[in-house]
């Protein structure tokens, strides 16, 4: 960053400096104090009721990709477009023809001139802080018969999380510094005129998480060899960026947006995390079947006795997603569509099979219109935001929950795995175990949001749709939810 009264001036006056001239990737960040403290208290002194709690601060070092991508900066790297005159509508170009080249330099191995355009830059905040998370928890456990019942709370707050933002937007020089514009907007007039988009890596992301957990675990229930654990969690996770590169659940957001929609207003992206799961129920059971285990008949004892069966059932609510409007795309992607502009758009849907296409379902009905949207002009859900390309807007919301990121939720999910185990005693020291493991034993296929069909300005159907069998919501991908069965023998000694 260069000198200046505010951030915009500092970007205008900024420059790339080599290390030998005082340039740094980032300055050392000392004083990262990370305490961890916990306690356990036998409340009544009888060993049946325990109160536990803890608090900690943990740090996450900046990862190599953030700095390694600086190799793509000039003078080492640039993208130049050369026009072939023979196919140009105007008949003019940079090279007369463009055959198949045998030289790895392509047309650059010939002669001619071409002005080097402003290129993009991977810039790093030299004052970046180390990301950290504060976590805390409190739980109470009570012994009930052969089991233990627990009620717990867990919380977390992410601070200085690593992010990406475009701080050199198209037209930013006119909006933020008052430069001259053409018809009120000049896309080439940027804050820093040496570069085009500036991929700035900094620490402005943050997160909040709260969860309640109910758990019951019992061993050898009714002396029948049954061990059971049941967990239910209610949680809510919020953030303004769920991952540095926006490679979110199923890659859905990554197809429409990189980093923040507005690099100077990170809080605009604040909403439900991409991995926000409100309800989750897990049931795990292992049963050492007692029947025939001690039968007098050796055949019955060895063939029918000694079996165990185990299962894990996972049920959870749907994951959130965003509906976008790419008709008002910015330098970093597509803004959020305002469902608030149209009444009656549900936050969750119910699937009704589309008879003409296998495994494709209508999930959320969008309003009629062309293209199925009543008014895309306020796509950000910010009614007073009228500036072209939404650069320099004063952001206010209309109070509707639909204007925020990740306000829609996909279908619920469930899956069950099981195993069957038989132990054979060979000698005093050796035994043989036969295992049969069944993943997705019911061959159940869940429905996922079709993540590449969330742009209301271009979708071909008035529905947000789901598809069964895709990987993380991508239609047509190989099926990852088929039943899988494997058998094994294990020698134990």
Strands 463-468 and 447-449: antiparallel
Q: What are phi and psi of 150, to 5 degrees?
A: -130, 140
Q: How far apart are CA 190 and CA 79, in angstroms?
A: 18
Q: How far apart are CA 317 and CA 446, in angstroms?
A: 12
**Do residues 342 and 367 make contact, with C-beta atoms less than 8 angstroms apart?**
yes
Q: What are phi and psi of 298, to 5 degrees?
A: -65, -35
Within a domain: residue 76? Answer: no
Q: Please classify residue 250 by burial: count the beta carbons closer than 10 Å to its beta carbon, then call 0-12 exposed, 13-18 middle and 19+ buried.
A: buried
Tell me how many helices (H) and strands (E) the chain has: 4, 19
Q: Residue 394, Cβ neighbours under 10 Å: how many?
A: 9
**Residue 444 forms beta bridges with which residues?**
none
Q: What are phi and psi of 32, to 5 degrees?
A: -80, 80
pLDDT of the residue at 232: 98
**Do residues 216 and 243 make contact, with C-beta atoms less than 8 angstroms apart?**
no
Q: How far apart are CA 339 and CA 336, in angstroms?
A: 9
Q: Which helix H or strand E contains 7, and what residues bound it?
A: helix 7-12
- Domain of 482 in residue numbering reads as 33-63+129-492
**Residue 213 forms beta bridges with which residues?**
152, 233
Q: What are phi and psi of 226, to 5 degrees?
A: -95, 125
* 401: helix, strand or coil: helix
Within a domain: residue 134? Answer: yes
Within a domain: residue 9? Answer: no
pLDDT of the residue at 270: 86
Q: Residue 64, Cβ neighbours under 10 Å: how many?
A: 8
**Do residues 139 and 151 make contact, with C-beta atoms less than 8 angstroms apart?**
yes
Torsion of CA 339, 345, 346, 348, to 10 degrees: -70
Pick left, alpha or beta for residue 10 (phi over 0 → left; psi -120 to 50 → alpha; otherwise beta).
alpha
**Do residues 313 and 439 make contact, with C-beta atoms less than 8 angstroms apart?**
no
Q: How far apart are CA 112 and CA 104, in angstroms?
A: 17
DSSP secondary structure, 293-330, as one string: TT-SSHHHHHHTSSEEEEEEEEEEPPPEE--B-GGG-B
pLDDT of the residue at 235: 98
Token pair of 13 as six digits? 């006056």
Within a domain: residue 1? Answer: no
pLDDT of the residue at 204: 94
pLDDT of the residue at 200: 92
pTM of the predicted structure, to 2 decimals = 0.83
Per-residue CA distances from 204 to 28, 200, 346, 413 (Å): 18, 11, 31, 33
By C-alpha distance, which of 195, 202, 167, 192 is closest to 66? Answer: 202
Within a domain: residue 148? Answer: yes
Q: Please classify residue 55 by burial: count the beta carbons closer than 10 Å to its beta carbon, then call 0-12 exposed, 13-18 middle and 19+ buried.
A: middle
**Helix, strand, coil abundance in the chain, percent, nearest 5:** 10, 35, 50
Q: How far apart are CA 473 and CA 279, in angstroms?
A: 20
Write the CATH number for 338: 2.40.170
Strands 195-221 and 119-124: parallel
Ordered per-residue pLDDT tens for the chain, 493 residues? 899 999 999 999 998 888 888 888 888 889 899 999 999 999 999 999 999 999 999 999 888 887 788 888 887 888 888 888 888 888 888 888 888 889 998 888 888 888 888 888 888 998 999 999 999 999 999 999 889 999 999 999 999 999 988 899 887 888 788 887 544 456 678 899 888 889 899 999 999 999 999 999 999 887 788 999 999 999 999 999 998 887 664 445 566 878 887 788 788 788 899 899 999 999 999 999 887 777 777 777 777 778 999 999 999 999 998 888 777 676 777 777 765 445 567 888 887 777 667 778 888 888 765 343 433 333 333 333 434 334 444 333 333 433 578 888 999 999 999 999 998 888 989 999 999 999 999 988 888 888 777 887 777 777 888 888 655 445 445 456 788 999 999 999 9
Token pair of 283 as six digits? 């049931």
Reported residue count of the chain is 493
How many domains would you assign to the chain?
A: 1
**Residue 207 forms beta bridges with which residues?**
158, 239
Within a domain: residue 102? Answer: no
Pick left, alpha or beta for residue 108 (phi over 0 → left; psi -120 to 50 → alpha; otherwise beta).
alpha
Within a domain: residue 452? Answer: yes
Within a domain: residue 101? Answer: no
Contacts of 247 (CB under 8 A, 6+ apart): 254
Token pair of 240 as six digits? 């303004």
Per-residue CA distances from 77 to 13, 42, 74, 229 (Å): 22, 64, 5, 56
């Amino acid at each position: 960053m260069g000198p200046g009264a505010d951030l915009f001036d500092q970007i205008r006056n900024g420059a790339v400096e080599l290390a030998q001239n005082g340039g740094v990737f980032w300055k050392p960040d000392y004083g990262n104090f990370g305490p961890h403290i916990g306690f356990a208290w036998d409340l009544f002194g009888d060993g049946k009721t325990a109160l536990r709690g803890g608090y900690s601060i943990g740090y996450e070092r900046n990862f190599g990709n953030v700095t390694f991508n600086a190799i793509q900066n000039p003078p080492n790297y640039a993208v130049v477009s050369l026009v072939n005159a023979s196919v140009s509508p105007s008949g003019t170009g940079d090279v007369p023809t463009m055959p198949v080249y045998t030289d790895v330099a392509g047309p650059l191995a010939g002669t001619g001139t071409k002005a080097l355009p402003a290129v993009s830059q991977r810039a790093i905040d030299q004052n970046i802080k180390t990301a950290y998370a504060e976590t805390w928890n409190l739980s109470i456990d009570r012994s009930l018969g052969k089991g233990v019942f627990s009620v717990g709370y867990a919380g977390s707050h992410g601070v200085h999380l690593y992010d990406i933002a475009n701080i050199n937007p198209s037209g930013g020089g006119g909006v933020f510094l008052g430069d001259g514009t053409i018809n009120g907007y000049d896309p080439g007039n940027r804050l820093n005129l040496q570069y085009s988009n500036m991929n700035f890596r900094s620490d402005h992301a943050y997160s909040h998480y709260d969860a309640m957990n109910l758990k019951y675990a019992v061993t050898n229930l009714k002396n029948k060899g049954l061990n059971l654990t049941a967990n239910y969690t209610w949680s809510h996770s919020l953030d303004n960026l769920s991952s540095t590169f926006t490679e979110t659940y199923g890659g859905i957001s990554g197809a429409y947006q990189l980093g923040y929609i507005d690099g100077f207003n990170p809080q605009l992206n604040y909403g439900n995390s991409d991995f926000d799961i409100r309800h989750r129920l897990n049931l795990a059971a292992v049963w050492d079947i007692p029947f025939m285990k001690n039968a007098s008949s050796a055949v019955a004892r060895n063939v029918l006795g000694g079996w165990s069966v185990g299962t894990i059932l996972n049920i959870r609510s749907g994951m959130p997603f965003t509906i976008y409007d790419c008709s008002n795309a910015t330098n970093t992607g597509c803004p959020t569509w305002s469902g608030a502009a149209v009444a009656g758009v549900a936050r969750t849907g119910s699937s009704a099979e589309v008879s003409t296409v296998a495994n494709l379902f209508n999930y959320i009905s969008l309003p009629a219109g062309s293209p199925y949207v009543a008014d895309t002009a306020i796509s950000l859900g910010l009614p007073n935001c009228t500036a072209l390309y939404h650069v320099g807007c004063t952001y206010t919301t209309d109070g509707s929950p639909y204007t925020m990121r990740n306000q829609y939720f996909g279908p619920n999910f469930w899956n069950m795995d099981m195993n069957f185990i038989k132990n054979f005693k060979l000698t005093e020291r050796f035994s043989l175990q036969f295992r049969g493991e069944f993943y997705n034993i019911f061959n159940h296929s869940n429905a996922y949001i079709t993540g590449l069909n969330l742009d209301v300005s271009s979708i071909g159907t008035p529905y947000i749709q789901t598809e069964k069998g895709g990987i993380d919501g991508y239609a047509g991908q190989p099926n990852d939810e088929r039943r899988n069965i494997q058998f094994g023998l294990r020698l134990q000694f």
